[in-house]
Chains A and B, each alone.
Chain A
Amino acid sequence: MKPALLRWLLWQTLPVTSIAVPIFALFVALYPGPIFWMRDTTLWILILLHGYALHLCLGRPRSSSMAHLYCQGFSRQTLWRHVVVATWLAILAAWIPVAALIWSPARVWIQSNLLDNQRFFVLAPLERSSPVFILIAEMVWMAVLNYAWVREAQPFRGLRGGRWLARLFVIVALLMPFTQWDRIGPSWLVPTAMACWIVVGLIAFWGTFRLQSRMEVRI
């Protein structure tokens, strides 16, 4: 890894991270019930917006600053590796304060003492696993966005399949909370859905890895 390149990429995500951290922290701190990643539309909107904003910072081969980076003395593999790590670090930077709020007594204290939500401490254990699911959801979303970006930048063909996959992801993510599918479906539905999300993320990640070396930098 090249720390200077990683720093350079993280610098680009800094405006998004500095806006996202307080918004996410406030949302989680003030949210009255336990947070379930599959049931909350606002949470999904935050995940989708944050992922898209990061994508704009790190994944635009048609911006002059990205083109500048691709003109420097790094191979495609090196650049891609660093973009992936920078993306993951930016996601962690935004959600770790949220995880800290959930896993520490801070959220229970805020709800009980400041917002007078006395029954929250009983429900709090139900959301313990949410930060992990949120991280997985956003990583899958970033993998899909990166796939869309890299696929579209392939030479000669207008490959828009990646964009359709991203649209499908958004539709599913926004519709899912309304269906209450985790409550009414059979017990195997949630783990199966989780596995499907992860498989989609892995396929998108693998596809991006395969295609990135032939990506064109057009400005």
Chain B
Amino acid sequence: MSDLCIETHELGRMFGKTAVLRDISWQASAGNVVALLGPNGSGKTTLFKLVRGLLIPTSGSSTLLGTRSDSLPDSVTNRVCCVLEGCSPPKWVTIRQLMDLHAAAYPQFDRALAEELVKQRGLPLNRRFWTFSKGQQRWAELALSIASRPDVLLLDEPADGLDPAVRRELYDRLRELANERNTAVVVASHVIADVERIADELVLIQHGQITLQASLETLREEVREIELPADQVPLQWGDGMRVLGSKRATSSRVTWVRTPGGDVDRRLQGCLSERAVVRPVGLEMLYFACTEYAEAS
């Protein structure tokens, strides 16, 4: 069996005359955690919906576990869990009823694990959903999704409303799911520090298009932050080097540069003066470089 769990090919979606997604070609493999990042309205949720078959693409195609997303049979859907913003269960249900639904939907659902995760946070199984706080409701949904032991797990803003301890627990469980059960986990989140801890790959979507797609390890190796005094003349970058973004402060200019092909620091030294300061870049800074400061580059 192929390791590819999600594959999209030039996927696009219009709403009226607005193109929300364009030419999305992307793959997610089993056992990987993918961080799907992007500003509000960039098309992350639409991408989830297209992959899960809740929306039909205007162009291109998408497959989930080897089957076209717009005609998923039970044998595929019962291996895919999807927690989306705005798709919450009715307020009148109890967690026990939700568990029954999950047990009917997912043959691999682990009821004992679900009960453990839910009770761990002090949530009684027989209380109605509306009596819980927003974060508790979110945790209940996530706990059941984790206990469903899916092959693909799509999570849209899962940390929304969760306190730091629950967030940590969630991301540890997701990593565990990817490592031990070979689940492909895709997380769209604005809490970058959290996903950085567990993600293997980064996909950055802006204005409906993928602008950056790489493994986190590669990005850590290839991207550097370079700070130069403001009076320094602009640099001549070497072959293959790409400026992701830059920011001008009063006394200095910071530039983020991606240098594919290895030996990054030595190659950069050849372009830089002694006054330049070179630093490695965290995911959060990389995100800002590619979004907030990208247009200045």
Tell me if A68 and B88 are in contact (CB < 8 A): yes
A71 touches B58 (CB 8 A): no
Q: Is the CB of A71 within 8 A of B83?
A: yes
Most buried by B among A12, A73, A74, A218: A73
Q: How far is the CA of A12 from the CA of B93 in the complex (A)?
A: 10
Query: Are A71's CB and B84's CB within 8 A?
Result: yes
Q: Which residues of A contact B77 (CB under 8 A)?
A: 72-75
CB pair A67–B56 under 8 Å, yes or no, is no
For residue A65, which residues in chain B have a CB less than 8 angstroms away from its CB? 88-90
In the complex, which of the residues A72, A156, A217 contacts B105, with contact meaning CB atoms closer than 8 Å?
A72
Cross-chain contact A7 with B100 (CB below 8 angstroms):
yes
The answer to whether A64 and B88 touch across the interface, beta carbons within 8 angstroms, is yes
Can you name the residue of chain A whose Cβ is closest to the Cβ of B154?
A71
Chain B residues, Cβ within 8 Å of A3? 104
Which among B54, B93, B100 is the interface contact of A71 at CB below 8 angstroms?
B54
A5 and chain B: residue at smallest CB distance:
B104
Contact yes or no, B101 A4, CB < 8 A: yes
B190 in the interface (beta carbon within 8 A): no
Q: Are B55 and A218 in contact (CB under 8 A)?
A: yes
Query: In the complex, which of the residues B74, B89, B102, B103 contacts A75, with contact meaning CB atoms closer than 8 Å?
Result: B74
Q: Is A70 an interface residue (CB 8 A)?
A: yes
Complex CA distance for A216 and B103, rounded to whole angstroms: 25
B103 lies within 8 A of A4 (CB): yes
Distance to closest chain A CB from B73 (angstroms)? 5
Q: Taking the nearest CB of chain A, how far is it from the CB of B71, in angstroms?
A: 7
Structural contact, A155 and B55, CB atoms closer than 8 A: yes
The distance from the CB of B150 to the nearest CB of chain A, in whole angstroms, is 8
Chain B residues bordering chain A, tally (CB within 8 A): 39
Contacts of B83 on A, CB cut-off 8 Å? 71
Q: How far is the CA of A4 from the CA of B56 in the complex (A)?
A: 28
Query: Is A206 in the interface zone, CB < 8 Å from B?
Result: no
A219 within 8 A of B: yes
Chain A interface mostly = helix
B97 pairs with A73, CB closer than 8 A: no
Complex Cα distance A76/B76, Å?
A: 12
- B54 and A74 contact, CB distance less than 8 A: no
Q: Is A78's CB under 8 angstroms from B74's CB?
A: yes
- Which residues of A in the span 173-219 have a Cβ within 8 Å of any Cβ on B? 213-214, 216-219
- Contact string, B70-94, partner A, CB cutoff 8 A, digits 1/0? 1111101111111110111110110
Is the beta-carbon distance between A72 and B54 smaller than 8 angstroms? Answer: no
Residue of A68, A155, A213 contacting most chain B CB atoms (<10 Å)? A68
Flag whether A8 is at the interface (Cβ < 8 A). yes
Residues of A within 8 A of B88 (CB): 64-65, 68
CB of B89 within 8 A of CB of A216, answer: no
Partner of B89, one of A7, A68, A78: A68
A-B contact pairs, 30 of them (CB 8 A): A2-B105, A3-B104, A4-B100, A5-B101, A8-B97, A8-B100, A64-B86, A64-B87, A65-B90, A67-B84, A68-B87, A68-B88, A71-B52, A72-B101, A73-B74, A73-B77, A73-B78, A73-B102, A74-B77, A75-B74, A77-B73, A78-B74, A155-B55, A155-B56, A156-B14, A213-B70, A214-B56, A214-B70, A217-B54, A219-B86
Please list the 10 inter-chain residue pairs (A to B) with the smallest Cβ-Cβ separation, ordered nearest first: A73-B105, A4-B104, A65-B90, A73-B78, A155-B56, A67-B87, A217-B54, A4-B100, A71-B82, A75-B74
